[in-house]
């Protein structure tokens, strides 16, 4: 089971969440902000993209 690490962009709190499905979102346990950044620990997936994909499927 993958455990993802998140960093809250609001308060800077770092926490980890057990994610069962890809695409699950998480909220900061400290300030309950959903502006969290997922840190892929254990994977070499550091693209450096800021997640605002330019393509909309609709
Ligand atoms: Zn926070």
Q: How many residues does the chain have?
A: 58
Does 48 reside within a domain? no
Q: Is residue 24 part of a domain?
A: yes
Parent domain of 33: 3-39
Q: What is the DSSP string of 15-36?
A: EEEE-SSTT-----TTT--S-E
- What is the number of structural domains in the chain? 1
7 CA distance to ligand 1 centroid (A)?
Answer: 8
Residue 34 placed within a domain: yes
Residue 28, domain member (yes or no): yes
User: Is residue 10 a part of any domain in this protein?
Assistant: yes
pLDDT band at 44 (very low <50, low <70, confident <90, very high): very low
Confidence of residue 29 (pLDDT cuts 50, 70, 90): very high
Residue 29 included in any domain: yes
Residue 8 confidence (pLDDT): 96
* Mean pLDDT across 39-51: 55
Residue 30 inside a domain? The answer is: yes
Decide: 7 and 36 in contact? Cβ < 8 Å: yes
**Is 7 inside a domain boundary?**
yes
CA of 30 to the centre of ligand 1 (A): 5
* CA of 57 relative to ligand 1 center, distance in Å: 31
- Distance from Cα 39 to the centre of ligand 1, integer Å: 15
């Amino acid at each position: 089971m993958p455990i993802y690490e998140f960093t809250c962009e609001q308060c800077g709190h770092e926490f980890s969440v057990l994610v069962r499905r890809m695409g699950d979102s998480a909220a900061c346990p400290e300030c309950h902000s959903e502006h969290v950044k997922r840190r892929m620990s254990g994977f070499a997936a550091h693209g450096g993209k800021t997640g605002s994909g330019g393509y909309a499927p609709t």
